[in-house]
Amino acid sequence: MSRRVVVTGVGLVSPLGIGTAANWEALCAGRSGIGPITHFDAAEFSSRIAGEVKGFDPLAFVSKKDVKKMDVFIQYAIAAAQFAMDDSGVDVTDANATRVGVFIASGIGGFGTIEREHKAFIEGGPRRISPFFIPATIINLAAGQVSIRFHAKGPNSATCTACSASAHAIGDAFEIIKRDEADVMIAGGSEAAITPMGVGGFASGPVLALAALRGYPTMLLEQNALPGLTNRLLSRLVRAAAVTFEEALKFFPGVGVLTGNPVRPEFFAAGKAIDDGLAMPPRAARILIFGGSQGAHAINLAMVEAAPQLAAAGLAITHQTGERDLEPVREGYRRAGIEARVEAFLYEMDREMTAADLVICRAGATTLSELAAAGRAAILVPLPTAADDHQRRNAEVVARSGAGVVIDQRELTGPRLAEAVLALAASPARRAAMASAVRQFARPDAAARIADKVWELASSSVRRA
C-alpha cells in the first residue's frame, strides 16, 4: 500500500529565534543568526563565530525536575516538537497513540553534557558523574522524550548520519507513513554542539588544507607554545603562521612569524580601583582567582583548603568559581573567617586583572597574553586535560622567564597553594620582578601584525596554480 504524505505542522528552534513564527519573521527580514560565541569563553579558539540559540528557556517546555535529566539538544527537540504539534492541530489520544510515531535525528547528541560530566569525572572521580548522564546524552533519547511528552506509541527511532541526519529522519518518517506503519510522524533533528569541544573539533583545518592545495594564500594562527595536531599538519601547506610564543616558530620553518596574541587594549591600561565591597587595608595584596568562564574545580577546592592558612594575611581576595562551586567556596571562606568576594562569573576581567597584585589561574594562551598585557605576577595551574598538555608547555615557557610560579594540578593542595600565595603576597619586590618579566610576552600591536601579514598575502597573489 502506497499513501500520500503531507506536512501538517512545522516547529523551529534555531539561531533565528524560538518558535516557527519568530523564525519566519527573521527569514523574511533577512536577519542572520550567526554571531560571536557567547555560550562559553571562546577567546582561545581559532573560530569564535557560530549560530547559537539565544533566549531559550527550557522551563517553558520542560518541568524543572526534568531539565537536569536532559541535555540541551533534547530540550530543543521537545520545544520544536511542541511548536510543530501546535501548528498541526493533531491531538494524540488513546485511540490513535499507536499510529503516532517519532523519528528525531542528531549528529552528535548531548555534547555539552558529555563535556561537563567528563570534567566532573577528571576533577572529582566517578562519584561526581551524574546518574542522568547516559539518558541525558544518547541520541535516541530526543525521540524517546518527545514520544513520552506526547504519548506517541507508534514507531520510534533516530538517525545519526552527521549533517544529513535530520534529512534522513524526515525521509525515513515519510517512508513509514507511506508504508502504512503510522498515520502521523513527528520528525526532524536537533543539535546543540556549540560547546568548547564542538567548536574546537569542527575548526577550520580541512577548509584551510583544501584552500592551500588549490593554491590560495593561507595563514594560520597558533597561540600555544606547543602547536596542536591540526596546525602541525597544516604547517607544511600554509604560506604563513602567526605565533604567540617564540618556542612555536620551530614547528613552522620558513613560514612562522612572531606576532603575539591579540587581546583587548583595556588589558594594557593602568590598573583601576574596583569597588569590591571588601573592608581591607589600602595596602592589602589583592588576589584574583579564576579558571576560565566556568571556573576550575581543582583550584576552587585548593583555595578552600588553603583559606585557614591565608586568614591572618589580610588579603583582598576576588574569586571566580563558576556556578557549580559558588556556594561551597563562599562557605569555605566564611568558615575560615575571610571576607572574600566570590562570584560565579566576572564580567570585566580586564579591570579585575589590572587591579590585582597576584593572579591564580590556568595557563591557556589567551589568559597568559592578558597577564602579559596587564603585567601581573601569577601562580599558574595548567589544565592537565588540555590537548597535548599544551597548557603545561605554555606555563613552562613563562616560568623559565621568571614570570610565573607553576603548580602541577597533581601536586595542588591547600598547603602548597597557601605557601606560594603567602610568599608572593609578602614580597612586593618579587611580584614586581615577575610583572616585569611577563611583560616581555606582551604584544600591543599583535592584531596589527596579523592584519598586515594577511594583507601582504592577499596582495602578493590571489592564487598559485
Q: Which pLDDT score, from 0 to 100, does residue 222 have? A: 94
* Cβ atoms of residues 49 and 117 within 8 Å: no
Q: Which pLDDT score, from 0 to 100, does residue 54 have? A: 92
Q: How far does the chain reach from its first CA to its final CA, in angstroms? A: 56
Q: State the pTM of this model.
A: 0.64
C-alpha–C-alpha distance, residues 205 and 64, integer Å: 40
C-alpha–C-alpha distance, residues 318 and 437, integer Å: 24
Domains of the chain: 13-198 (3.40.47.10), 204-261+445-460 (3.40.50.2000), 266-441 (3.40.50.2000)
Helices (H), 375-462: 390-400, 414-425, 428-438, 446-460
Q: Which pLDDT score, from 0 to 100, does residue 275 have? A: 60
Q: Which region holds residue 115: left if phi is over 0, alpha if psi is between -120 and 50, else beta?
A: alpha
pLDDT tens profile 439-459: 999 999 999 999 999 999 998
Q: Which pLDDT score, from 0 to 100, does residue 175 have? A: 95
* Cβ atoms of residues 393 and 285 within 8 Å: no
CA 216 to chain centre: 31
Handedness of CA 252, 253, 256, 261 (dihedral sign): positive
Q: Which pLDDT score, from 0 to 100, does residue 37 have? A: 87
pLDDT tens digits in sequence order for the chain, 465 residues long: 678 899 999 999 999 999 999 999 999 999 999 888 888 887 777 677 889 999 999 999 999 999 989 999 999 999 999 999 999 999 999 999 999 999 999 999 999 999 999 999 998 899 999 999 999 999 999 999 999 999 999 999 999 998 889 999 999 999 999 999 999 999 999 999 999 888 877 766 777 888 888 899 999 999 999 998 889 989 999 999 999 999 999 999 999 999 999 999 999 987 665 666 665 566 789 999 998 767 899 999 999 999 999 999 999 999 999 888 999 999 999 999 999 999 998 989 999 999 999 999 999 999 999 999 999 999 999 999 887 899 999 999 999 999 999 999 999 999 999 999 999 999 999 999 999 999 999 999 999 999 999 999 998 765 555
Q: Which pLDDT score, from 0 to 100, does residue 204 have? A: 63
In eight-state DSSP terms, residue 342 is E
Helix, strand, coil shares of the chain, percent, nearest 5, are: 50, 10, 40
| Alpha-carbon distance values, 1 to 172, 184, 379 (Å) | 16, 16, 72
Residues 6+ apart with CB under 8 A from 213: 237
Q: Which pLDDT score, from 0 to 100, does residue 461 have? A: 64
Burial-class residue 426 by CB neighbours within 10 Å (0-12, 13-18, 19+): exposed
C-alpha–C-alpha distance, residues 405 and 416, integer Å: 12
Q: Which pLDDT score, from 0 to 100, does residue 79 have? A: 97
* Cβ atoms of residues 235 and 219 within 8 Å: no
Query: For residues 231-251, b (16+ Cβ closer than 10 Å) or e, as one string?
Result: beebbeebbbbbbbbebbeeb
